[in-house]
Chain A
């Protein structure tokens, strides 16, 4: 490749970005200690609830999507082919 890799795409930068990201994640969980809870539901009071819930919900959504994909995914030429078959 002739072009110098953009600094944002270099492996060193990406390693740093991951570290910063993990630090920010830890901070958002710890910040919970500093704020006042005005929870209506019990779960809202559990420490780190939103962090765990957000992560688990997203993993679950990805798994569900994957499962639905197994059943319902088709090549993106699917409808074009159907149209061609019909006009043929």
Chain B
């Protein structure tokens, strides 16, 4: 019998119950201590398989630790702590427990040594995240969460079928590296990619996340897509297809974010963009590329959470989310603006920022493998990141025109959470050695060479020049941009309603025919047999005698003729 409380994910899920039951200061204390306890346990757990059991004749290993799982579990616990600090003043009492369930399940996936455990925690994540979206308590959020849940249940179903097939083929449940070489492996890959926000099913992310509350989206940005990155790294490293999928995600994210007006939807598209860099790295599959993808997931969680805390603070203080309604907020929200800018510089991979030390490894890997086109596209995309997130977000929210809004900075816990994450974004950019030591493979890479720094600065600053030169083309309008979710939000609905109209129409037509025919029939019967009908009249006996005679003559005639 394993000691249940030695698993950090289980502790965090238990903490969800605790936080749900407590109130006031005790609740706040528990909300901050539980993630820290989980973090401590992640670091004291030894490497190797810690829990082992047999289930239906298969070996399951629900708690197995190695470098990669520890790296992801660490950042998930840090994120749970920072998110909880930011959300302490959230009045909804379900959101934080739901977020802990979500985070605990994510840690559960990272420590799962077998596919069955992966599946169980995978589904728990879907439940937790859906509850986080629901907690916003709006009609829009409810509708979006139902769409979100449908997509993720579909993903879970693909995963379960894939796992069943894999077990049938190999006789083992162990979560090991696979290749897209059989139907079941394709299904598992597809399930992972659904969670990564890869096309064609990427629209769920910008559709659902921005409907969460000001604090909810901070949690949502971290776990689902990064657990997909983790699962792809473990399951499908070096699958070439992922290079193309990743590059598609990178540019999809940029283009849609450029067209977007809702500040948090800009950041949602930017999640797809950033995960695209990681997926590309996994597709390249060398040690350098995998280190790059893993470290980029780590730094991304921090700066994306920081950006969303900054956006969440603006939403919390102003109640507004559209760029067209915002602007000029740097004057009254200096801390929020400064932290937002630090997050923006970090996502853009500016030197001395966390994104620089992680993303450059993916480009380096493309260069090492002589993948010229991939390398060029990654460079173009790096410039594009600065364009769509690095400048666009802070510019339209904190600068551009003066909206006249003068809200102060948010409450102290929200400020502290932002400052903590901003410090981590800068700290990891300067002191990157500890992060590099955590990576799954030995790092032989120096990010701060003169050429790297100068090349990156040129790329980014001239991207900034393009932004301001083309500013008139980028002015925000009150619009959204149709995505593939149009297929299930409009086309499928129209198809269903036209099909049901068709059924109703056919039904009505057939009813009309039947009534018309029966009416005609009854008219005919009435005409023949009714009171005045020819077959019901009383006939004079003379006419009957006449007809009898005609008939007898006819028989006589027939007799002669034959």
Interface residues, chain A, with chain B CB atoms under 8 Å away: 6, 8-9, 21, 24-25, 28-29, 31-32, 34-41, 43-44, 48, 50-55, 57-62, 64-66, 68-69, 72-76, 78-79, 82-83, 86
Q: Are A61 and B482 in contact (CB under 8 A)?
A: no
Given known A-B contacts A50-B379, A69-B481, A32 and B466 have beta carbons under 8 A apart: no
Give the distance in Å from the alpha carbon of A41 to the alpha carbon of B367 in the complex. Answer: 8
Residues on A with beta carbons closer than 8 Å to the beta carbon of B474: 62
Q: Are A6 and B331 in contact (CB under 8 A)?
A: yes
Given known A-B contacts A54-B383, A55-B463, A64 and B330 have beta carbons under 8 A apart: no
Q: Are B379 and A9 in contact (CB under 8 A)?
A: no
Q: Are B255 and A64 in contact (CB under 8 A)?
A: yes
Stretch among B77-85, B420-428, B447-455, B509-517 lining the A interface: B447-455
Given known A-B contacts A35-B450, A50-B455, A61-B384, A78 and B462 have beta carbons under 8 A apart: no
B387 at the interface (CB under 8 A from A): yes
Residues on B with beta carbons closer than 8 Å to the beta carbon of A82: 489-490, 493
**Closest beta carbon of chain A to B118's beta carbon, Å:** 34
Q: Are B454 and A24 in contact (CB under 8 A)?
A: no
Give the distance in Å from the alpha carbon of A73 to the alpha carbon of B260 in the complex. Answer: 10
B101 at the interface (CB under 8 A from A): no
Q: Are B462 and A52 in contact (CB under 8 A)?
A: yes
Q: Are B461 and A72 in contact (CB under 8 A)?
A: no
Residues on A with beta carbons closer than 8 Å to the beta carbon of B372: 41
B259 at the interface (CB under 8 A from A): yes
Give the distance in Å from the alpha carbon of A27 to the alpha carbon of B313 in the complex. Answer: 36
Chain B 440-481: CB-based contact to A (< 8 A → 1; otherwise 0): 000000000111011111111111111101100110011111
Closest B-chain residue to A86, C-beta based? B493
Q: Are A72 and B482 in contact (CB under 8 A)?
A: yes
**Closest beta carbon of chain A to B265's beta carbon, Å:** 10
Give the distance in Å from the alpha carbon of A88 to the alpha carbon of B328 in the complex. Answer: 41
Closest 6 A/B residue pairs (Cβ): A35-B450, A58-B466, A57-B380, A50-B458, A54-B459, A54-B462
Q: Are B454 and A35 in contact (CB under 8 A)?
A: yes
Q: Are B466 and A55 in contact (CB under 8 A)?
A: yes
Q: Are A55 and B481 in contact (CB under 8 A)?
A: no
Q: Is the interface of B mostly helix, strand, loop or mixed?
A: helix
B261 at the interface (CB under 8 A from A): yes
Given known A-B contacts A41-B375, A78-B480, A28 and B384 have beta carbons under 8 A apart: no
B282 at the interface (CB under 8 A from A): no
Given known A-B contacts A9-B402, A40-B370, A28 and B473 have beta carbons under 8 A apart: no
Supply 7 A–B pairs (Cβ within 8 Å), ascending by A: A9-B402, A44-B451, A57-B384, A57-B463, A64-B255, A68-B255, A76-B479
Q: Are B480 and A73 in contact (CB under 8 A)?
A: yes
Q: Are A54 and B458 in contact (CB under 8 A)?
A: yes
Q: Are B379 and A59 in contact (CB under 8 A)?
A: no
**Closest beta carbon of chain A to B367's beta carbon, Å:** 5
A58's partner among B261, B463, B480, B489 (CB-CB below 8 A) is B463
Closest B-chain residue to A25, C-beta based? B461
B497 at the interface (CB under 8 A from A): yes
**Residues 374-410 (chain B) with a chain A CB within 8 angstroms:** 375-376, 379-380, 383-384, 387, 402
Residues on B with beta carbons closer than 8 Å to the beta carbon of A74: 479-482
Q: Are A32 and B259 in contact (CB under 8 A)?
A: no
